[in-house]
Amino acid sequence: RQQQNILQSDETILNVYRGIKLDREEFNKIKHNQGKIISTNEYLLATRQMERAVDSAKRSTRKTDMISVLLHIQCDIKSMDKNILFGNIDQFSDDHDKHEVLFDFNTCFEIESIDDCDSLKIIKMNLSDQGQMAMRHFIELKQQQTEEMNLTIIVGRLLCSLGEYEKSKRYFQQLFNDANDEDRAWIEFNIGRVLALNKESNEARIYYNHAYER
């Protein structure tokens, strides 16, 4: 119902914010994925009030080498997939003035840009329906290609469809040692596909050639 309230409102673009602290390694991982799709591994709570989020990002911490980050999330309300779950939770909050919005577990976002503003890093992200599209693609693959490849290979393709290129590559590499020759051709082909999508064309060509030679 809370999602429907947003979808049926006059808003076309919903802007929400979250202030966080990231260590340098975590921030560099996000920076490396600029322009790609990432997914959350937990529920994401954001606010419509940028000032609150900025205050949270700049809050002092005992840990050193921490980076203050403002997540700026844009949601194109009118064109988004209706299966993406999110909604206002003001009525469930002790502080109704926070204007909080909760995004479901594993919601996907595209990292549009990363900018500097004083001592703050601003990561602009767009809500993406790639997670839902990848899941539908996964189901279609399962139905259409069970004779061509086994389920473990399809799982690796799903990771790739979500933009998790490194995870997908490691997954396929682990599969390779225990696979039979027929599956190894599919695995090498899919490692090549992951590398090509990650713009590692020379290494991708090597895996494609190995797959075709089997």
Work out the mean pLDDT of the chain and round it to a whole number: 79
**pLDDT-derived band at 54, boundaries 50, 70, 90:** very high
3-state secondary structure of 199: coil
pLDDT confidence of residue 69: 97
pLDDT at 92 over 60: no
* Cα 125 to Cα 112: distance, rounded to the nearest angstrom: 5
Residue 182 phi, psi (nearest 5): -65, -45
Task: Kindly give the pairing relationship between strand 37-39 and strand 100-103.
Answer: unpaired
Q: Are 167 and 193 in contact (CB under 8 A)?
A: no
For each of the domains in the chain, give its residue range(s) and CATH number, in order of start: 2-128 (3.90.176.10), 132-213 (1.25.40)
Averaged pLDDT for residues 126-140: 68
Its pTM stands at 0.58
* Cα 193 to Cα 175: distance, rounded to the nearest angstrom: 16
Q: Are 159 and 188 in contact (CB under 8 A)?
A: no
Residues 6 or more apart whose CB falls under 8 angstroms from that of 189 comprise 207, 208, 211
Of 31, 26, 35, 38, the residue nearest 199 (C-alpha): 35
pLDDT confidence of residue 150: 67
Weakest-pLDDT range from 25-34, 95-104, 127-136, 188-197: 127-136
Residues shown for the chain: 214
Dihedral of alpha carbons 176, 194, 168, 144, sign: negative
Averaged pLDDT for residues 3-30: 78
Q: Are 20 and 44 in contact (CB under 8 A)?
A: no
Of 161, 171, 78, the residue nearest 179 (C-alpha): 171
